[in-house]
């Protein structure tokens, strides 16, 4: 708190006209905030929501396919291991089917 008072004291004593400049800056900041509120509240263009949902759905499908393929490759790699190697990593043949499901 003392530093803020010192800064205000310095502004008033050593920087003439600061009150006027800070008032202009506050007015400018208020206009910017008002414009941002106006710009963000306008409705989306026609078809934008549908396009977004379609692209999001396609992205989800690709994500699911990628996860399925990763699980498939892991199961194939584990199936190639011997029973002793599976035992070394703490798995048995019955556990392989549960991976990635």
What are the tens digits of pLDDT across the range 31-44? 666 555 555 666 77
**Banded pLDDT at 98 (limits 50, 70, 90):** confident
Q: Give pTM, 2 decimals.
A: 0.51
Tens-digit pLDDT profile for residues 28-87: 676 666 555 555 666 778 888 899 999 999 999 999 999 999 999 999 999 999 999 999
The answer to whether 68 and 74 are in contact (CB under 8 A) is no
């Amino acid at each position: 708190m003392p530093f803020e008072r010192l800064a205000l004291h310095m502004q008033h004593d050593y920087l003439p006209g600061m009150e006027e400049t800070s008032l202009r800056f506050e007015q400018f900041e208020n206009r910017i905030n008002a414009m941002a509120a106006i710009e963000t509240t306008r409705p989306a263009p026609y078809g934008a929501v549908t396009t977004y949902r379609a692209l999001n759905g396609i992205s989800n499908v690709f994500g699911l396919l990628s996860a399925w393929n990763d699980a498939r490759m892991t199961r194939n790699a584990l199936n190639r291991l011997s029973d002793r190697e599976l035992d070394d990593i703490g798995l048995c043949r019955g556990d392989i089917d549960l991976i990635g499901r």
